[in-house]
Amino acid sequence: MSAVNPDWWKSLFDDIYLITDARSVYDEDLTCREVDFLEEILKFEKSWAILDLCGGHGRHSLELSRRGFKDVTVLDYSGFLIDLGREMAQKEGFNTLFVKADARDSHLPNERFRVIMVMASSFGYLIDEGENGKILCEAFRLLMPGGSLLLDLPDREYVLKNFIPQSWHEANDEIVVCRQRYLVEDITYCRELVISKTRGLIRDTTYCIRLYSPEKITKMLKSVGFDSVTIQKDFVSHSEKADYGMMTNRMIVIARKK
Res 240: pLDDT: 60
**First vs last Cα of the chain: how many Å apart?**
44
Domain boundaries, the chain: 21-154+212-256
Residues 208/225, Cβ–Cβ less than 8 Å? no
Residue type, 253: V
Calpha distance 29→238 (Å, rounded): 9
How confident is the model over 162-187, as a mean pLDDT? Answer: 94
Q: What percentage of the chain has pLDDT greater than the value 90?
A: 89
Paired with 169 in beta bridges are 177
Tens of pLDDT, residues 152-172: 999 999 999 999 999 999 999
User: Burial level of 82, CB count in 10 A (0-12/13-18/19+)?
Assistant: buried
Residue type, 143: L
Residue 51: is its pLDDT beyond 80? yes
Q: Which of 61, 67, 60, 68 is nearest to 96 (CA)?
A: 61
Residue 246: is its pLDDT beyond 90? no
Calpha distance 127→116 (Å, rounded): 23
The model carries a pTM of 0.94
Q: Which of 179, 172, 236, 234 is nearest to 204 (CA)?
A: 179
| CATH number, domain 21-154+212-256 | 3.40.50.150
C-alpha R_g of the chain: 18
